[in-house]
Chain A
Amino acid sequence: MAKAAEIPVDPLESYASAGARIVRVRTMELFDHGENVLDTEDIERVHDMRVATRRLRAVLEVFAPCFPADAFKSALRDVKALADALGERRDPDVHIAAMEQFAAVAAAAQRAGLQHLIGLQQARQAKGNDALAAALEHAERSDLRARLLALADAAEATA
């Protein structure tokens, strides 16, 4: 599982200043997990990046009032789209692993049906990988990382 950096919080610090600091760290973590994420042989990479998008999305939503509304909406929409694409890849990864475990202990007569389902999930996995590739490309083209860091800067400027 992806380990997140520990971020100290001070109850008396301003809400906007805390939001700026935390969003910066979570943004960097998200993009650090982007490497080789399309490799279906190592399903933990997608999981780690998905966890990182959840963490980032959570802090964006918690600190939403601290950011300029339009830039925030657009960045959050793109983070959600990336999270959805990661989910489209991750869900079949998880189902395949669970069905393989189930098949390993199932009766011989049940294995063909389980293999049939695993085949369907593998097709979903390939489709999910295509969707993820497109979402990653969009994030890069639209410079999502810079837009997120700019949100943090804007929040800090008002703190």
Chain B
Amino acid sequence: MKARRVKGLDPQGALADNAARIVRVRLDELCSFMPKAADPEQVVALHDMRIAAKRLRYILEITAPCFGPYAATAMKATKGLQDLLGEIHDCDVQEPDVMAQLERVMAEDARALAARAGDAEDLDPALLKRIPGRAVHPGLVALAVHLRARRALLFARFLEAWRDLERKGFRARLEFALDERAGATGNGATPVATPLEVIE
């Protein structure tokens, strides 16, 4: 997903002014995926929302100390959301992989079975005991089932996490924090260290 362009950035301007512009756009980008991403079938929207969360998290990790205290809280909340969406994405990638592998094994088994039937009038079900992939079927099916169930569980947690953010006024509070500039009063506020170590 291509990031929305942020207009009006000025390299000679204050870091906080520029960062606030970027955060507003990234925040709007993130929120724009709901309610579409609340549909578990909308895999692409969920994936794009994860990317949007990542972009918001990164700008906050660099510049949260420029803003009011809620910016740091929002950074942690965004990281939590991104992690959850990342785990859902992993399931969305892995399950089709496992199913494709199962399909390959089944196709090979079907070919082998047909070859063993030879000139018989019909296929003898007893031949199934000797298909080459019989040992790997249970593991592939078990993992696919596990991934699907885990995805459902994670998705329910994502909806709950988003509702919780909304209940706590995530968007409005972050927007408010952007106007609460640290040091904006010119009273010698001490620059604070950027907690970038949480990027992983």
Contact = CB atoms under 8 A, between A and B. Distances in A.
B199 to A, nearest CB: 5
A8 B200 contact: no
B143 A113 contact: yes
B143 A14 contact: no
Given A11-B14, A15-B18, A102-B146, A117 B193 contact: no
A18 B14 CA distance: 9
Contacts of A159: 11-12
Nearest to A58: B58
Nearest to B183: A11
B78 interface: no
B139 A58 contact: no
B196 interface: yes
A12 B15 contact: yes
A61 B62 CA distance: 12
Contacts of A58: 58-59, 61-62, 199
A15 B15 CA distance: 4
Interface string A124-159: 000000000000000000000000000000010011
A11 B177 CA distance: 13
Contacts of B184: 11
Interface residues of A, number: 48
Interface string A55-67: 1001101100110
Contacts, number: 147
A15 B18 CA distance: 7
A113 B183 contact: no
Interface residues of B, number: 49
Nearest to B198: A4
B143 A158 contact: no
Which of B11, B58, B61 has most chain A Cβ within 10 Å? B11
B36 to A, nearest CB: 25
A74 interface: no
Contacts of A9: 15, 62-63, 65-66, 191-192, 194
Contacts of A155: 11
A122 to B, nearest CB: 14
Contact of A15 (B12, B55, B67, B195): B12
Nearest to A26: B196
A106 B142 contact: yes
Interface string B35-73: 000000000000000000001001101110111000000
Nearest to B93: A91
Interface string A77-97: 000000000000000000100
Contacts of B22: 62
Given A65-B10, A114-B139, 18 more contacts: A6-B194, A10-B15, A11-B14, A12-B183, A13-B191, A15-B9, A15-B10, A15-B14, A51-B199, A55-B199, A58-B58, A59-B62, A61-B58, A111-B139, A112-B138, A113-B138, A113-B141, A115-B139
8 contacts: A6-B194, A51-B200, A62-B62, A102-B146, A113-B138, A114-B142, A116-B140, A117-B101
